[in-house]
Amino acid sequence: MVSPTPFLTLSSLLLVLLLCTAGVNSSSTPPTKIGNGYRLISIERTPDGGLVGHLVVNQKNNIYGPDIPTLQLSVKHETHDRLRVHITDAEKQRWEVPYNLLPREQPPVLKQTIGRSRKSPITVAETDYPGSELVFSYTTDPFGFAVKRKSNGQTLFNSSSDESDPFGNLVFKDQYLEISTKLPNDASLYGLGENTQPHGIKLYPNDPYTLYTTDISAINVNTDLYGSHPVYMDLRNVGGKPYAHSVLLLNSNGMDVFYRGTSLTYKVIGGVLDFYFFAGPTALGVIDQYTSFVGRPAPMPYWSLGFHQCRWGYHNLSVVEDVVANYQKAQIPLDVIWNDDDHMDGHKDFTLNPISYPQSKLSAFLDKIHSIGMKYIVLIDPGIAVNSSYGVYQRGISNDVFIKYEDEPYLAQVWPGAVYFPDFLNPKTVSWWGDEIRRFHELVPVDGLWIDMNEASNFCSGKCTIPKGKQCPTGTGPGWDCCLDCKNITKTRWDAPPYMINASGLQKPVGFKTIATSAVHYNGVLEYDAHSLYGFSQSIATHKALQGLEGKRPFILSRSTYVGSGQYAAHWTGDNQGTWENLRYSISTMLNFGIFGVPMVGSDICGFYPQPTEELCNRWIEVGAFYPFSRDHANYYSPRQELYQWESVAESARNALGMRYKLLPYLYTLNYEAHISGAPIARPLFFSFPTYTEVYGLSTQFLLGSSLMVSPVLEQGKSQVTALFPPGSWYSLFDITQAITSKGGLNVTLDAPLHVVNVHLYQNTILPMQQGGMISKEARKTPFNLMVTFPAGSDGEAIGNLFIDDDELPEMKLGNGYSTYIDFHATVTKGTVKVWSEVQESKFALDQGLHIEKISVLGLDGSGQASALEVNGKPVTNASNIELSTTKQNVLEDGGDKVKIVMVEIKDLSLDVGKNFAITWKMGPKVEDKRIM
C-alpha cells in the first residue's frame, strides 16, 4: 500500500547529508572521536570454555550522555564456525532482542563483583578454542578485540583504534553505543538493510546506512526502509582464493552504520553490543551458518511460486472476477489473486464490505477458484479501528492487548482513522490475534495473509486525541493526512534521544509517523527499544495462527522484517516506482534479502506507482517472472496495469511466465534447499563464481540457484543487452541450440527484442523441468524433462536434484511418507554418456504417478551421433517407441580452437520419477537414421 510519508528526492537527501555535522550524520566527513575507551581489568575462563571479562571506562564525558562506568564482556565459541562477543552493563540488565522471539544461548549472569585492576602495560592476548575456526584476541588498554580466521590468520574484525584510524575507541552510554572495525581495501561488503542501494549490491563507501524500520517509499535511495537487518557479508579474494564471512550485530535499536572503505562504524542508540561472527568460508556456508542461528527460511507452498496479481483499487468483487477471467482469456498463468484493503468494511481488519464484497458471493467465488487450484490472499494492517461497535476492537479492549502510553492504549491513525496497535510481545495479544484470524477464516477461507504497514506506520506523530466536531478521516483527499488532534512528545529522553540517527534520511525524530518511542509494551518494554521488532513479532503471531487453523503450511507476506523474519514470512520490497531505475534497484534488494535469510522475495512488477510505460512493463515482467516471489501490484491512483492490459506485455508475460511455470519443480527444490540450509533462491553471481572477481559488484544479472543466470534488459529503448559470462559453458534456456563458452570469462552482446529475456544454464547441471501450464496445480502433474549440460565438447559430469512433497503439510522434510528426493547424475567419458538417478523415499513420487518423458543432453562432442542406447541395462530396439535424436548446437567462443557440439534428446521415455533409472549410449560415427537400430 502507498506510503503515507511524503517521499524524499535524491537531491534533498544529498543536501541533508552535506549539512550534517561532522562525525554524527555525514559518512563522508572525518568523524569526531568520542572518549578514550575502556580498559580491561579482569578476564577469566568459564566452565564451558568461554571468557568473561570486565571493563572500566578510561575517562568519562557527557557527549550523548554519561558513560556506563563498568561493562561485562563475554566471549563464546558457540559452534565450530560461530563466535559470539557480547558487551553489556556490568551492573544492571539492559534491553536485548527478546530470547523468546529469537531463541539463543543466554550470556553469563551479570557478575556483581569487579575483578582487581591490572596496572601492567598494554598487552595483547589471544584465545584459541579447540575445534573453532575463529580466534578471538584482545588488547587491554584501550580495550579492543579482533577476530581472526585460524586457517590463514586473516583478521576479519578489529575494533582496536590508533591515531591513524578514522574512528575512535569503544563508547558505551545508555543511549549511544559506538564501535568500529578496520577493513582491508579489497573487502567487498554486502547487506546492512533494508534500503534501496543505487550503486548496486556492494556497499558503497560514504553512502548512509541507517537501520530503523520506517514506512517510507522504497523509491527513496539510501534511506532506512521497512526492515532492519544489521548484518553484512564480507567477501575477500586472498591470493586467488575467495573467503567469505559474516558479521551480525544483534541489536534492535536504531543505528547508523558508517562504511568508509577501510573501516566500518556502528552508532547505536541503545541496547547491547551482541556480535555474532560466521566463518564461512564460502558465501553459501555463511548463509547456512547464519540461518542455522537466526532460523531457517519458512517452507513455502508450491502454489506460492506461481504468479500473483494484486491491485489496491479492486473496488468490488466483480472486478476481481473480471481480472481472473481476463488472465485466463489472455492465456497468462495465474495462481493467486489478492485483495488490498478493498474487501474491508471501512478499512477495518477481519471484515467484509457488505455491498462490494458480500460474504455469500465471495464464498461462491472462492469455491470456484479453489476448485481449479487458485488461491486468494488478503491484506490486514496492525492498526485496529477504535470503534465501540467493532467486535475485533471490543475483544482487544477486553483482553488488554494494545500498546500503552501513560497507562492508556496509544492512539494513532491509519486507514480506518483512529486506531490502537496490538502489542505482539504480550502473550495475550498473540492468543487474541490468533482467535481473530480464526474467526475471519471461518468467514473467508483465505489461503494466506498479507501483513502491511507493520513498521509500524502511523499517519500522525506524538500524543493524539480524537477530534470533536469533525470527521476523521474526512473521506476525501489522499487518505494519509493526519486528522487527529496531536501534539509533539519531547519530554522524555526516549522521544528525543541525545544522538539522532538519520531516520527517514532527514534526521527525523525516532517517533516520526510511528508509535511514540516512550510508549510501553508488555512487561514495561519501551517502544524505543522494540520498535524495529514490530513486524517480526507480528509475523510470528500470524504464522502461529495460520498454522493452527487447518494444520497447513502458512503463507505470510510481511512488509516489515527483522533478523529471523525469513523463518515465518516472505517479503516484497514495498512501494516502488514504475521507472527504469526502480527496475534496476529491485535486483539488488532481492539479492540482499537472500543474504538476510529471507529468500522468498520480490518487487511489485511494473512498479507500484505511477503507471509504467508499456515498454517498461514488458521488461519488468521479464525480470519479475524470475523473482522468487512474483507479483504484479499497483496503486489505487494509477491506471490499471494487469499484464493483459497491453497485448505486447501479455506476449512477454506468456513467454517469461511460461518458462517460470516450466521451472517450478526447480524453484520448489530451491525452496527446499533454502529451508534446510538457508541457500538463497536468487543469488549474486559471486555465490557460484567466487574466484571470478569481475562479478563481485555485478547487480544487473542474477542466478536462480547455482547455475541458472538471468540477464535482463534494464534500459529504455534497448533491443540488446551486454551480459557477463563467467568462465565455462552456458546454454540458452529459450533456444538450447545456442551456447556460449569461454576460458576466462566473456562479455557478450545478446539480442533481446521486446519479448525476449536471456536466461542461460551453466555446465555441469541437470535441470528438472515440467511442461508448464496456466496454474501450478496442473503444471506439477505434467511429465518431466531433464536438461543436462556438459562443458562444451569435453568429458565431464553433471548433477541436479528434485524435491517433491505434499505442499499442504506444515513441515517440509524427508521421512514423513509424503515427500521424495531425487539426485540426478550424468557423466560423459570418452564418448560414453550415462544419466542416472538415486531416489530417496520413493513412495510419494510413485503415488503421484509422475514420470520423466524426455532427457536433453547439451554440449556433447559433435564429431558423431548417438547410438547403442540402453535403458536400465536393456538395449533399446527399433521396435521401441523411444526416440533418440542428435541436433547441432551453435557456439560463441572467446578464441582458441573451434568446438563442434551437439545435443542429444531422448523422447517418449516414461520413466517413473520415484524409481532409480540408468541410461547410457555412445557418441559414435555419424549415422543417417536418427532412430535407434
More confident residue, 216 or 478: 216
Task: Provide the pLDDT for residue 896.
Answer: 61
Catalytic pick from 178, 341, 575, 841? 575
- CATH topology for the 37-103+121-286 domain: Immunoglobulin-like (2.60.40)
pTM of the full structure? 0.95
**Confidence grade of residue 20 (pLDDT, cut at 50, 70, 90):** very low
One-letter amino acid at 376 equals: Y
Per DSSP, which regions of 662-783 are E strands?
A: 682-683, 702-704, 708-711, 720-725, 728-732, 738-742, 746-751, 758-762, 765-770
Task: Provide the pLDDT for residue 926.
Answer: 52
Mean pLDDT score, 826-840: 97
Per DSSP, which regions of 564-603 are E strands?
A: 570-572, 601-602
Mean pLDDT score, 542-558: 95
- Give 631-687 pLDDT, tens digit per residue: 999 998 889 999 999 999 999 999 999 999 999 999 999 999 999 999 999 999 999
More confident residue, 110 or 374: 374
Domain 684-923: which CATH class?
mainly beta
Q: What residue ranges of the chain are covered by domains with CATH 2.60.40.1180? A: 684-923
Mean pLDDT score, 720-734: 98
Task: Provide the pLDDT for residue 14.
Answer: 38
Task: Provide the pLDDT for residue 864.
Answer: 81
Judged by DSSP in three states, 902 sits in strand
| C-beta separation of 492 from 518 below 8 A | yes
Mean pLDDT of the chain: 93
pLDDT over 80 at 319, yes or no: yes
Catalytic pick from 81, 234, 452, 632? 452
Task: Provide the pLDDT for residue 7.
Answer: 43
**Confidence grade of residue 928 (pLDDT, cut at 50, 70, 90):** very low
Burial 774-788 (b: 16+ CB within 10 A, else e): bbbbbbbebbbbbbb
Catalytic pick from 335, 455, 622, 807? 455
pLDDT over 60 at 209, yes or no: yes
**Confidence grade of residue 30 (pLDDT, cut at 50, 70, 90):** low
The C-alpha cell 531516520 sits at 503
More confident residue, 123 or 260: 260
Outline where 419-533 has alpha helix (H).
Answer: 427-443, 527-530
Catalytic annotation present for 215: no
Q: What is the distance, to the nearest Å, from the Cα of residue 921 to the centroid of all Cα atoms in its chain?
A: 43
Mean pLDDT score, 744-758: 97
Contacts of 115 (CB under 8 A, 6+ apart): 41, 42, 43, 44, 54
Distance (Å) of CA 560 to CA 212, 450, 531: 10, 11, 11
Q: Report the percent of the chain where pLDDT is more than 70.
A: 94
Catalytic annotation present for 823: no
pLDDT over 90 at 207, yes or no: yes
Residue 345, strand partner residues: 348
Task: Provide the pLDDT for residue 29.
Answer: 58
* Range in 430-439, 532-541, 580-589, 859-868 with the lowest mean pLDDT: 859-868
Considering all CA atoms of the chain, what is the largest pairwise distance in Å, rounded to the nearest integer? 93
- Give 262-286 pLDDT, tens digit per residue: 999 999 999 999 999 999 999 999 9
Number of neighbouring beta carbons within 10 Å of residue 116: 7
Task: Provide the pLDDT for residue 669.
Answer: 98
Mean pLDDT score, 356-370: 98
- Give 731-744 pLDDT, tens digit per residue: 999 999 999 999 99
- CATH topology for the 302-671 domain: TIM Barrel (3.20.20)
* For residue 656, cis peptide bond before it (omega within 30 degrees of 0): no
**Confidence grade of residue 119 (pLDDT, cut at 50, 70, 90):** very low
Residue 585: name the closest of 679, 680, 714, 704 by CA: 714
- Give 570-583 pLDDT, tens digit per residue: 999 999 999 999 99
Task: Provide the pLDDT for residue 127.
Answer: 73
Q: What residue ranges of the chain are covered by domains with CATH 2.60.40.1760? A: 37-103+121-286
Q: What residue ranges of the chain are covered by domains with CATH 3.20.20.80? A: 302-671
Cell of 889: 548446437
pLDDT over 50 at 927, yes or no: no
